[in-house]
Amino acid sequence: MLKKILVRELYLPVIYIIFAFIIYFVLSKIVNRLLVINKNKSDIKVKREKTIVNLIKNIIKYVIAVITFLGILNVYGVETKSIIASLGIAGAVIGLAFQDIIKNLLSGITIIFDDHYVQGDIVTINGFKGEVIELGLQTTKLKSYEGEVLIISNHLITSVINHSMCNTNIFLDLKVNKEISIKEIESILKKVSDKLQKRDDVHKPIDLLGVEVINDNNYIYKILIECDAEHQYQVNRAFAGFLKEEYDKIGIDVPSDIIEIKEK
């Protein structure tokens, strides 16, 4: 009899855990089917839907984990009914013990449903700028362009700048030799603009804002490029490459400090 009890206490928890994984897998598939992400929608809506899907999966995971844990306790003779009944009394104590977890949970839900940011957005959180690679119920993970990853508790997020809500404006200060006329440089920039327009992440022709500073040997010509926030560095490199091509065609030397980037 004792042997049977021991065997039961060994295999039942394993079965519960296996069933928990199966149930989570099935429910995740159902969530994916019910909340089909329409790729024809805007990028912002697609990102938001992906984030909501991940949130629902996280909630399902935690609920299954709690139920499985209570089932395993029941196998070992722990009276789970009394535990469940006493949760109301112990709620205040649990709330104090896990107040940071509860704060993170509420903050995570608020962030998602108030559209502060979603997975894939470029944001600056508490002074750290990067792409949101994961938004969970407890933490947010940001990856900078240098590869650094910031993991921050949701309730500690006090300042958020979302660069993906609107297109990014890149202001470029183009240093031009005085020997090149304004008319000539504008002609070159229009050709560069035509090439940039073939990119999906550039939304309008380059704005030629005009001459801003005149120095002894050169002048500064300011331009504006409007593009997707997550592709601003790729767009800047593409611009520099196209400009070099146009300069080479007419035999103009490119100064080493030709471009100064001022993102706003």
Q: What is the pLDDT of residue 264?
A: 46
- Among residues 160, 158, 124, the alpha carbon closest in space to that of 142 is found at 124
How far CA 115 is from CA of 38, 44, 120, 218, 224, in Å, comes to: 18, 10, 13, 46, 28
9-23, 172-186, 194-208: lowest mean pLDDT where?
9-23
Q: How many angstroms separate the CA atoms of 215 and 257, rounded?
A: 14
In the DSSP assignment, the letter for residue 202 is B
154-177 average pLDDT score: 84
Q: How many angstroms separate the CA atoms of 191 and 194, rounded?
A: 5
pLDDT band at 191 (very low <50, low <70, confident <90, very high): very high
- Among residues 224, 216, 217, the alpha carbon closest in space to that of 189 is found at 224
Percent of the chain with pLDDT over 90: 12
Q: Mind listing the domains of the chain with CATH numbers?
A: 2-162 (no CATH), 168-263 (3.30.830.10)
Q: What is the pLDDT of residue 222?
A: 92
Between 80 and 248, the more confident residue is: 248
Q: What is the pLDDT of residue 190?
A: 93
Say whether pLDDT at 247 is over 60: yes
- If DSSP codes are grouped into helix, strand and coil, which group holds residue 143? strand
Q: What is the pLDDT of residue 72?
A: 80
Say whether pLDDT at 177 is over 70: yes
Which residues, at least 6 apart from 154, have a Cβ–Cβ distance to it below 8 Å?
Answer: 103, 104, 105, 107, 108, 111, 137, 138, 139, 140
Backbone angles phi, psi at 222, to 5 degrees: -95, 135
Between 8 and 59, the more confident residue is: 59
Give tens-digit pLDDT for 202-234: 888 889 999 988 888 888 999 999 888 778 888
15-35 average pLDDT score: 83
Backbone angles phi, psi at 227, to 5 degrees: -150, 175
Say whether pLDDT at 79 is over 60: yes
How far CA 62 is from CA of 25, 55, 56, 104, in Å, comes to: 13, 11, 10, 14
